[in-house]
Structure 1
Amino acid sequence: MATHPHPYSGECLSSWIVRTAHHNGLKVQTFSDLSFGKHNQIWNRDIDKLAPNFVLQTMAKRSGISLKLAAKTTLNLYVNRLFPKIKPSGILRWINPLVLHHRKHTAYGMQYCPICLSEDKEPHFRIAWRLSLFTFCPIHKVMMKDRCECGASVNFHRIELGKVNIIDVAALDECLAMW
């Protein structure tokens, strides 16, 4: 039976999708193909910035939450607060860019607090961590991190990629090379 966890308060869409895939015993790409259609490639963009409406609708409907709540997992949360509108291309003021190349983040736009992740009952990334305003975690007063120990950018949506029979991952802040 499929499970559809609700997003945690402040969780970003990409993290919510990854958690939902793993809750269902699926790799992220398999879950995405089954849920959104194999012809709809969602990971070739900054999904937290440019979430297609069908993704939000699917996640909201299957999780039993409102579309409005699902939309709070995206950077649209900051429209008219930090910038006037979401631009499909280019840099958004106050948002750390991911810079995608072949579905992989090549820039260091996905920050995180290592203590928050370690204390979470279920580790998840926050949408606020994408803001360049946060250089220190407001809860733990430690510097935010934006890369794996090896120096690679954070790509938690790809962490189990190429690892046969591995779905659950130990830490979301490691890259494929660390496994």
Structure 2
Amino acid sequence: MSLWPIHPKPYPDELLSSWLMRIAIQFRFNLNSLCRQLLESNHAAPREIDRVYSDTLIKRLAEGTGQPQEIVREATLVEDEGYVYLNRHHGMNHWIFPTTTFEKMAHHGLAYCPECLAADAEPYYRKSWRYAFNPVCPVHRRFLKQACPGCEAPFIYFAMDMIPHDRIMHHCLQCGHWLGDWPAESADPRLIDCLFNIQASLAAGIARNTFELPNCGSIPAIAYLQILHALTYAVRLPKRAAWVLTHYPCVPADLSLSPLEQDHENLPLEMRSPEAIGTALCLAGTLIDDWPACVVNLGGIGAFS
């Protein structure tokens, strides 16, 4: 297979679907057509292409764009399977923001940083934005957004049945509003600092595939992230979060728990807002330093029942 006449390279940390969408825009193909005609792939769910892909797609995209197959794989979520999350499939996976609706529960939308998109010479979506343990943009130190600032519709840039245009990556598909038009926010700087440190620590641990867990020593990244996920989900309810604030003085006692009050209590962690996830993650980051005693303490208030 020869090099395509249009073959943009992926940007740093660019997600596979974002890269494919930019190619589709330049070819004037919709995403289905791109997968079918250029990649000779009958991929049934372009919305899931970041984590469910074929070797043929990887090979042909590498050949068509002149990129090594390793670079193409790095743009997928599949590259992280086994040490960031388990059980890649079409359903819900721990830590991955979904692109579809499950069990009639609508998702908030794909996470993005309005300021990053506004600053991009060519807007694109970061792979790191798909992971729920990254609720804050490390560049602009603000919570990611998942909806349109105009009509508040959940945002997703997949437009499988239409010819994409260059506005599709940074404008709402429902009302056309520019996604960078979010007003300045006044998030608690202590919470932002806490999450900034947690995210940096997670990135470092994932890169070396090991974490230090108190009283346990070194453990694989996947085990650490599973524990952190369980603790984050356990304190998703305001009453449990309030208990942590009371019993763990290293967390600011006046930390606002209002983001935790917005969602149904049984909603999966990955279908909650970045603000709610961030609040719970801040508390879980404190709890995991008290491992395994925190499990006994949380069990005493029914957090795992």
Shared fold (TM-score greater than 0.5)?
yes
Number of aligned residue pairs: give it: 169
User: How big is each residue's C-alpha offset from its partner over 1:142-179, in whole Å with a ceiling of 9 and x where there is no partner?
Assistant: 110112232322221218x54xxx64332524333214
Identity %: 27
> Matched residues in 1 for 2:173 and 2:47: separation?
20
Distance 2:46 2:24 in 1: 18
Partner of 1:137: 137
> Aligned ranges for residues 67-78 of structure 1 at < 5 Å?
67-78=69-80
CA distance in 2, matches of 1:41, 1:77: 18
Match of 1:178 in 2: 175
Q: What are the superposed Cα offsets for residues 87-129 of structure 1, whole Å, 9 maximum, x if unpaired?
A: 214322211122259xxxx523521101111111111001110
1:5 is the counterpart of 2:25: no
Aligned pairs (5 A) from 1:12-161? 12-37=15-40, 40-83=42-85, 85-99=86-100, 107-108=107-108, 110-149=110-149, 150-158=151-159, 161=161
Q: Which structure has the bigger radius of gyration? A: 2
- CA separation of 1:153 and 1:54: change in aligned 2, threshold 3 A: farther
**Partner AA of 2:157 in structure 1:** F
The alpha-carbon distance between structure 1 residues 13 and 126, as it changes in their structure 2 partners (threshold 3 A), is: same
Deviations 1:7-52 (A, max 9, x none): 1111011000010111224343333332134x71443551111122
Of structures 1 and 2, the one with the larger relative CO (CA 8 A, separation 6+) is 1
TM value normalised by structure 2: 0.50
| In 2: Cα distance, 1:51 partner to 1:125 partner | 18
Q: CA deviation at 1:61?
A: 0.9
TM-score scaled by structure 1? 0.81
Specify every segment of 5 or more residues in structure 2 that has no aligned partner in the other structure, as ranges.
177-305
Letter in 2 for 1:178: C
Instruction: Looking at secondary structure, tell me which structure has more helix per residue.
Output: 2
